[in-house]
C-alpha cells in the first residue's frame, strides 16, 4: 500500500505504509534513531506478510515524512553529555504514545510490536505502559537504558560528535561509513545501503530531528522498572557483533522482562542484513505464536 498520513495528537502526523492482508494479525514495526521506516526493508516486510502478518511500518516523529518539530531547538553536545533533561523536546514515552495513536488511527485494538534500537526502547514502553494494546513484543538490538549496559563501543562515539553534512552525497557517505563500523561484518550490502540512504535523504533529511530523538534517548533514564511490568510474550534479539548497542544491552533487557526469551545471533551487528532475515522473521513469528491473539479489530456495533 502507498504511504499514507495518520493525524495524531497535538497536530502531529505520522507517515506509514502497510504490507500484506489487512485481515491478518497486525505487527507494528518501530525503527531506530535517525532512521526512517525504510530501515525495515521492503523484502523484510514482505516476508512478515508471507508469514501471516499485516505489517505496518512508519516514520517516527522528527524523521522522514512524519511531523518534524522544527520549532524546538536541537540539543547541544554539552547537554547530551550531561544528560540534561532540558535538552529533550519530548521523551521516549511520548514516542510510545505516538505508536499507540497510530494503532487508534488504524482502528486496531491490539498488535504485535517489533522495535529495533531506539524503536526497541519505544516498543518496550508500549508493552509496559500500554500493555492492553500489545499482543507480543520483539525487542531488537536495544537495551534497558541502564548507563553501563548496552552502551556503544569506544570506536562508535565519534559518530555522535560528527558534524552533519547538509548535501546529499555527503549524507549518503556518512551513512555508509557509519554502517561499515556498526553493521554486520561481511553481511551488509553497501550498494543497497547507498540506495536506501539516497531515498531517505530525498524523503526528508533532518539532522536536527535526529538530534532531538537522541536527546529523548539519553534523558529517558533506566527503564528496568517499567520492563518488569511487561506481560506480553517477549523475545529479545541481539547480534553478537553489535558495536552500537553492545550485547550486554540485550542480556539486560531479557533479564528485566519476566519470561523473556533471549536470541543472540552470531555475526549480527547493528542492522538487519538480508542474510539474517529468515532467522529474525522466524524468531518474531515464533514469539507471536506464544500470544493469545484474538481478532484485534473492534467488534461490529
- Which pLDDT belongs to residue 300? 42
Distant-in-sequence contacts of 67-75, Cβ < 8 A, 24+ apart: 67/11, 67/12, 67/13, 67/14, 68/204, 68/206, 68/209, 69/209, 69/212, 70/208, 72/212, 74/207, 74/208, 74/209, 74/211, 74/212, 74/215, 75/211, 75/212, 75/214, 75/215
Taking residue 203's Cβ as centre, other Cβ atoms within 10 Å add up to: 16
**Residues 114-156: pLDDT tens digits?**
999 999 999 999 999 999 999 999 999 999 999 878 777 767 7
- Give all domains of the chain, ordered by start, each with its CATH number: 4-288 (3.40.50.1820)
- Which pLDDT belongs to residue 165? 86
pLDDT average, residue stretch 196-201 = 97
Q: What is the DSSP letter of 17?
A: E
Of 151-160, 161-170, 212-221, which one has max mean pLDDT?
212-221
- Which pLDDT belongs to residue 82? 82
In this predicted structure, the answer to whether residue 102 has a pLDDT above a threshold of 70 is yes
d(CA 241, CA 264): 10
- Which pLDDT belongs to residue 284? 98
Q: What percent of the chain has pLDDT over 90?
A: 83
In this predicted structure, the answer to whether residue 301 has a pLDDT above a threshold of 50 is no
Beta strands across the sheet bearing 111-116: 4-7, 13-19, 53-58, 25-30, 111-116, 134-140, 234-239, 261-265
Amino acid at each position: 500500500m502507498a504511504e499514507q498520513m495518520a493525524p495524531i495528537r497535538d497536530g502531529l502526523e505520522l507517515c506509514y505504509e502497510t504490507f500484506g492482508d489487512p485481515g491478518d494479525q497486525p505487527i507494528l514495526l518501530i525503527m531506530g534513531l535517525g532512521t526512517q521506516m525504510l530501515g525495515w526493508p521492503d523484502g523484510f516486510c514482505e516476508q512478515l506478510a508471507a508469514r501471516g502478518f499485516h505489517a505496518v511500518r512508519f516514520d517516527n516523529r522528527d524523521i522522514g515524512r512524519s511531523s518534524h518539530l522544527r520549532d524546538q531547538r536541537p540539543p547541544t553536545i554539552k547537554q547530551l553529555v550531561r544528560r540534561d533533561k532540558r535538552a529533550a523536546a519530548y521523551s521516549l514515552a511520548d514516542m510510545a504514545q505516538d505508536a499507540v495513536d497510530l494503532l487508534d488511527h488504524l482502528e486496531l485494538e491490539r498488535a504485535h510490536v517489533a522495535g529495533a534500537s531506539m524503536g526497541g526502547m519505544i516498543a518496550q514502553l508500549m508493552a509496559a505502559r500500554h500493555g492492553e494494546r500489545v499482543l507480543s513484543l520483539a525487542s531488537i538490538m536495544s537495551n534497558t537504558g541502564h548507563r553501563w549496559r548496552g552502551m556503544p563501543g569506544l570506536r562508535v562515539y565519534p559518530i555522535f560528535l560528527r558534524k552533519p553534512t547538509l548535501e546529499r552525497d555527503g549524507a549518503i557517505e556518512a551513512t555508509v561509513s557509519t554502517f561499515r563500523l556498526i553493521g554486520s561484518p561481511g553481511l551488509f550490502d553497501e550498494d543497497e545501503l547507498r540506495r536506501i540512504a539516497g531515498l531517505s535523504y530525498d524523503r526528508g533529511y533532518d539532522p536536527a530531528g535526529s538530534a532531538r530523538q537522541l536527546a529523548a534517548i539519553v534523558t529517558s533514564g533506566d527503564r528496568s522498572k517499567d520492563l518488569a511490568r511487561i506481560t506480553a510474550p517477549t523475545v529479545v534479539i541481539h547480534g553478537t557483533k553489535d558495536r552500537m548497542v553492545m550485547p550486554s544491552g540485550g542480556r539486560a533487557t531479557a533479564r528485566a522482562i519476566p519470561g523473556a526469551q533471549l536470541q543472540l545471533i552470531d555475526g549480527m551487528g547493528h542492522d538487519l542484513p538480508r542474510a539474517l532475515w529468515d532467522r529474525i522473521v522466524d524468531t518474531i513469528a515464533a514469539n507471536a505464536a506464544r500470544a493469545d491473539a484474538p481478532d484485534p479489530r473492534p467488534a461490529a456495533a
